[in-house]
Amino acid sequence: MAKNDVKLLGIWASPFVMRARISLNIKSVNYEFLEETVGSKSELLLQSNPVHKKVPVLIHGDKPICESLVIVQYIDEVWTSGPSILSADHYDRAIQRFWAAYLDDKWFPAMRRIRGAQGEERQELVDQVVEGLALLEEAFGKYSKGKAFFGGDQIGFIDIAFGSLLGWLRVTEKVGEVKLLDEAKTPGLVKWADCFCADAAVKSVMPETEKLIEFSKFLMAKMKGAPSPKN
Ligand SMILES: N[C@@H](CCC(=O)N[C@@H](CS)C(=O)NCC(=O)O)C(=O)O
């Protein structure tokens, strides 16, 4: 596949964009990364994702594919010669999609609200996120079967869906001064997070926590016209 046949519209700090990048790395697909400018949407983005106008968008040849989890599944189905991301078993695939949907619909929205919340609302969000991590710890024990990843020996669909959120989890822990991934309560996930971030497919695209913190400050100050920090 020529490099120009695959393009990815994204923003370096986006956890959703990271899912596509990790998947392309797993499959050893060359691609061109087209960085969007925060606060303005390129013509190509508006044309490629007219419904949500969000990144990531994968452009394969001249065909756009939107929504990070759809993109990961597309990559898995198209580049079959690389390691599989979803299981071959139908039930296991359903379970993997279930947890990815839980992360996107429930867990991540609660986690991202912690930093801006206060008092009782904040405590409720922290409790919700910690409860979710306990469920994920249990799921990890069940699906990893003693191996490093939810997907077993190699990174799979739940690993990508969840692992891409780790950078922003760390930002919340640091800026929000709250411990979420805890060695005592979620020892399996703590170990899993280390393995995930150390994996060759992830290392080059997982931003440093300090850079994400800078970026989140920039987002908050965006109205004042601060320049965008680059990865
Ligand atoms: N559900 C989408 C979420 C994508 C998303 O929220 N992307 C953000 C960047 S992290 C975005 O493009 N935001 C721009 C906007 O909301 O206008 C996915 O999984 O791809």
How far is Cα 33 from Cα 58, in angstroms, rounded to an integer?
10
Whether ligand 1 lies within 6 angstroms of the CB of 67 is answered as yes
What phi and psi values does residue 200 have, to the nearest 5 degrees?
-60, -35
Atom 2 of ligand 1, nearest CA residue: 67
Give the pair of three-digit tokens for residue 201.
């497919």
Atom 12 of ligand 1, nearest CA residue: 54
The rounded Å distance from CA 67 to ligand 1 centre is 8
What digits encode the pLDDT tens for the residues 154-210?
A: 999 999 999 999 999 999 999 999 999 999 999 999 999 999 999 999 999 999 999
Residues shown for the chain: 231
Whether ligand 1 lies within 6 angstroms of the CB of 16 is answered as yes
Whether ligand 1 lies within 6 angstroms of the CB of 14 is answered as yes
Q: Is residue 212 predicted with pLDDT exceeding 60?
A: yes
How far is Cα 84 from Cα 49, in angstroms, rounded to an integer?
27
The rounded Å distance from CA 146 to ligand 1 centre is 34
Mutual orientation of helices 90-102 and 68-78 as an angle, nearest 10°? Answer: 150
Give exposure, 27-58, as e/b (b: 16+ Cβ within 10 Å): bebebebebbebeeeeeebeebbeeeebbbbb
Whether ligand 1 lies within 6 angstroms of the CB of 170 is answered as no
Mean pLDDT estimate for the chain: 95
Confidence band of 220 (pLDDT split at 50, 70, 90): confident
Query: What is this structure's pTM?
Result: 0.95
Give the DSSP per-residue string, 92-103: HHHHHHHHHHHI
The rounded Å distance from CA 56 to ligand 1 centre is 7
What digits encode the pLDDT tens for the residues 96-115?
A: 999 999 999 999 999 999 99
Atom 17 of ligand 1, nearest CA residue: 54
pLDDT at residue 56, as a whole number:
98
CA distances from residue 122 to 107, 126, 151, 180, 223 in whole angstroms, order as listed: 14, 6, 33, 13, 25
pLDDT at residue 229, as a whole number:
63
Query: Which residue segments constitute the domains of the chain, with CATH numbers given?
Result: 3-78 (3.40.30.10), 90-198 (1.20.1050.10)
Whether ligand 1 lies within 6 angstroms of the CB of 68 is answered as yes
Arithmetic mean of pLDDT, 127-131: 98
Atom nearest to 14 CA in ligand 1: 10
The rounded Å distance from CA 123 to ligand 1 centre is 26
What digits encode the pLDDT tens for the residues 24-62?
A: 999 999 999 999 999 899 999 999 999 999 999 999 999
Atom nearest to 15 CA in ligand 1: 10
Confidence band of 3 (pLDDT split at 50, 70, 90): very low
Choose among 133, 111, 131: nearest CA to 122.
111
pLDDT at residue 228, as a whole number:
60
Whether ligand 1 lies within 6 angstroms of the CB of 96 is answered as no
Q: Is residue 226 predicted with pLDDT exceeding 70?
A: no
Whether ligand 1 lies within 6 angstroms of the CB of 55 is answered as yes
Atom 6 of ligand 1, nearest CA residue: 54
Q: Is residue 223 predicted with pLDDT exceeding 60?
A: no
Q: Is residue 230 predicted with pLDDT exceeding 80?
A: no
